Structure 1
Amino acid sequence: MRKILLKLFVLALVVLALLSGALVWVVQTPIGMQREQIDFTILPGSSMRSVAREITAAGAELHPWMLILLGKWMRVDTSIKAGSYEIARGVTPLELLKKLTRGDVTQADLVFIEGWTFRQMRERLDAHPELRHDTTGLPEVEIMRLIGAPEATAEGLFFPDTYFFAKRSSDVELLTRAYGAMQQHLAREWEARADGLPYRDAYEALVMASIVEKETGRSDDRPLVAGVFVNRLRQGMLLQTDPTVIYGLGERFDGNLRKRDLLADTPYNTYTRRGLPPTPIAMPGLGSLQAALHPALTEAVYFVARGDGSSHFSQTLDEHNQAVRRFQKGGRP
């Protein structure tokens, strides 16, 4: 009897060794694939069974039960991370499972540029092939509601930056992140603002930052430009800044700003209306936010472009007119 039990025990060990060897061979053998690389997306809350089906449907020659059993054996069957994935030929079931539990998702990116309007942002969002376009065609106020923002007007409320995201993410998620980033930067800069600024709240500072952003691309000129506009606000002068007029014209602007445009009254015409326009006119970058909240201490109330990207700043109208003749009229009187 003992010999029989011993033989059975040995046989069980042999079978177990064979099964273990087979399992090791299976999990370390590259998965067959119909293409060099396949993409698939795991939805939040997916079971291991649905994950396996998604992967095989994408073109992996993988028996679903293999991944299910491996997940249970490794006790990670409930640890799969949602997201978009890419796998290439040569990947093994074990490597695949590790990838899924690490959340090693593929990422795409999208860049929002300083000075863009919300319309330009939406065009870039709608054209991105890796995003899920949930906001296409929606009115602006509805988009703001979807991202949980209290404002009804979107202009200037998104921070320009490079954003990485899992493929097939919703554009709502991306806009929410960009809105949150701007709120954080604005709150921090507002808290550290210089004393005595002529802004009623952080939103007015954001409006000013958007004007600075459109007026100059030179980092060393931004505080001076902001200083000029702050001086004008304090003295009750008209801001008289062309970018606000252009923004107010909208699609009617053909690239050539005419005298009649400067005389045509709109809420954004700072040649006809005192103070700041009602909303930002673009996305300001961090440099413009900082300039608006830490403007240069200057006596200048005028500036004109030199033609090389920089600006000449003047304290008096006579000096300004001379600078205009010098830099914009080729020295003509």
Structure 2
Amino acid sequence: MIVTIVVVAVVAVPWSRGHRGRALRCARRSRTSPGGRGATAGRRSGGHGDRDGGRAVRFDSGKAVAADGAAIAYQSAGNSDGRPLVLLAGQANNHRWWDSSRGDFEDAGYRTITLDWRGLGDSDKPDGLYSTRGFAADVIAVLDEVGIAKAHVYGTSMGGRVAQWVAADFPGRVDSLVLGCTSPGGPHAVERDKSVRRTLAQADRATAERFLLELMYTPAWLATHQGPYYVLGDPDMTAAARRQHLTASAKHDAWDVLPSIAARTLVVHGTDDVFNPAANAPLLADRVPGARQVLIEGARHAYFDEFRGLAGAAVLEFLGSG
């Protein structure tokens, strides 16, 4: 039986960028940083500073070596003694996908770990086929590099597809699992409408990008938030790498292994998501044993940003209940 919670935005107003709501306490001060490109990106990501009580919050970056020798860039932020939480970004996006919300988890006592997928950011960009299952192995390489035996794993969009494989292939490494705005893939998944695919694939890139923004956010949000946006893809990514990511995401199919996932699982989705249709949420929640489901009323694909207060509170409650 699926346990479903519908979070209604009328009851709790979504946070605007740079504002913390009632669900989480936050104090902003300065972030300590070792310097370098990764550290600079972290400082840009919203100024998540030292937390209450003067506890220093570190932002470290480095590279792990994957099984095939590829270097995978990672970023670690928060108290080094905090509970580890891996945050996995969407297709063709780097770690800045989590800029607006990662600090909320750090404020709650978690150590966040992000990475740049192979093919983008500061990670290597090898030729060859990419897959969501292969990306999962890259996640484990990062955990090995930073000395984390077990972590909570929260993946959104393609990151949620990757998270399914992390939990299925490496069950001993996953404390609990959060699958956001994602899909089981394969013939059992609910695909986006053909008209959505056609509009995104059109030659006029400005029109396609605006359409993508409207898939991510509600009109009300876009009217009052002028960006910058970090959910539209890595601007420095090559066309070849974009195709590799698209293929990896499109060929994802974890349906057969979902029943084997032993980690406590939460499925989160916006009710108005047509980019990755919301009908995929109950498919996942019914397929993973004991999974719970949270639907955020009125949210589109980037629920974790626009409805950050509601989504973050729901995820934190789940992570803390295990």
Question: TM over 0.5, yes or no?
Answer: no
Instruction: Please indicate the TM-score interval, normalised by the length of the shorter structure.
Output: under 0.3
TM-score, normalised via structure 1 length? 0.22
Bigger Cα Rg: 1
Q: Which has the higher contact order (CA 8 A, sep 6+)?
A: 2
